[in-house]
A = this chain, B = another copy of it.
Amino acid sequence: MTKQLRPLMIGVVGDSAAGKTTLTRGIAQILGGDATVVCLDDYHRYDRKERKELGITALSPECNYIDIMEQHVNLLRLGQPILKPVYNHSTGTLDRPEYVAPGKLVIVEGLLSLHTPALQRCFDVTIYLDPDERLRRRWKVARDTHKRGYKPEEVLAAIERRMPDSERYIWPQKKAADLIVRFWPPYGYFDENVDNRHLNVRIFQRHTLPRPDLTAVLDHSHNGRRDAISLEKDVWSGGQPVDILDIDGTISREKAAELEQVIWEQLHFSDQLHPELLGAFSEGARERHSDPLALTQLLIVYYLLTVRKHRPVEIT
């Protein structure tokens, strides 16, 4: 057998409609399609009817095969295929499983991706998506009314109903994340017309991983009155050091392109990368583009490739 690198593993967690699929889409595509996206929300123990009878939400760990999640994510990490269960969001039923063989990059996303230490240990980089809550509600209403056929008041009622479980099971996973990504609307801009193309992003970088050197990027980031990207060091309560990276939502197209180029030049294997989908997101049936999203995704890729350089684990 020839030596090969084990897959690079990203774990993404966040509440419903926190932007998991949108964030991972561009990252998945950047390796030329040789990425595998696994959604852990498929690991439900009960179908919709059974959950109703039992009176538990899909969010509850008791409603999910946590041990099988751990086993499968670990197998993918070792480069092995899995027969993944499938939850059908349209019908609420558990369908036939599907065969998944890991590509060079494996992106694991879900409500409980970092729920246990055994899961946390499987990942090279862990990301918690923590958008402004008003923004998340708006995203969830837009998606569930557009794609899943619900009424806005039904979606909002469901959010309220799930809130205790969100707080109990999802929020604590923030502690296990290397990066916390927070999209938020510019001050004073939160109204009906908030523009998803121009949201600010704040990325909290814990010192749990080697961080890429962003000096060259920061040096190019002057953008009129504000910096397009700025970095601040901080210490959280408990003494945890954290680097806070801000990307300005009002960044110009030209400045964004320039910064993407600066990051791009520092990436390993950049000749093998495919940036076509960076920054893409759906708004109803429309495909749109966000520069702050593209820069966020590119920075995460930069992170990933830095980690891989520092931890080249080989399997035979």
In the assembled complex, A216 has its CB within 8 A of some CB on chain B:
no
A71 contacts which chain B residues (CB < 8 A)? 75, 80-82
In the assembled complex, A67 has its CB within 8 A of some CB on chain B:
yes
Number of interface residues of A (CB under 8 A): 18
Distance of A241 Cα from B93 Cα, bound (Å) = 54
A94 contacts which chain B residues (CB < 8 A)? 96-97
Q: Nearest Cβ distance between residue A71 and chain B, in whole angstroms?
A: 7
Distance of A6 Cα from B263 Cα, bound (Å) = 51
In the assembled complex, A65 has its CB within 8 A of some CB on chain B:
yes
In the assembled complex, A274 has its CB within 8 A of some CB on chain B:
no
Contact B99 A96 (CB under 8 A): no
Distance of A67 Cα from B80 Cα, bound (Å) = 9
A47 contacts which chain B residues (CB < 8 A)? 96
Contact A68 B96 (CB under 8 A): no
A65 contacts which chain B residues (CB < 8 A)? 83, 99
In the assembled complex, A45 has its CB within 8 A of some CB on chain B:
yes
In the assembled complex, A85 has its CB within 8 A of some CB on chain B:
yes
Q: Nearest Cβ distance between residue A117 and chain B, in whole angstroms?
A: 15
Task: Kindly report which residue of chain B lies nearest to residue A69, judged by CB atoms.
Answer: B83
A window 85-106: CB within 8 A of B: 85, 93-97, 99
Task: Kindly report which residue of chain B lies nearest to residue A71, judged by CB atoms.
Answer: B80
Distance of A178 Cα from B97 Cα, bound (Å) = 34
A85 contacts which chain B residues (CB < 8 A)? 83, 96-97
A83 contacts which chain B residues (CB < 8 A)? 65, 68, 83, 85, 97
A68 contacts which chain B residues (CB < 8 A)? 81-83, 99
Contact B81 A67 (CB under 8 A): yes
Task: Kindly report which residue of chain B lies nearest to residue A88, judged by CB atoms.
Answer: B96
Distance of A52 Cα from B217 Cα, bound (Å) = 58
A82 contacts which chain B residues (CB < 8 A)? 68, 71
A81 contacts which chain B residues (CB < 8 A)? 67-68, 71
Task: Kindly report which residue of chain B lies nearest to residue A81, judged by CB atoms.
Answer: B67
Task: Kindly report which residue of chain B lies nearest to residue A101, judged by CB atoms.
Answer: B67
Shortest beta-carbon contacts, A-B, top 5: A94-B96, A68-B83, A97-B97, A85-B97, A83-B85
5 contacts between A and B (CB under 8 A): A68-B99, A71-B75, A71-B80, A83-B83, A95-B96
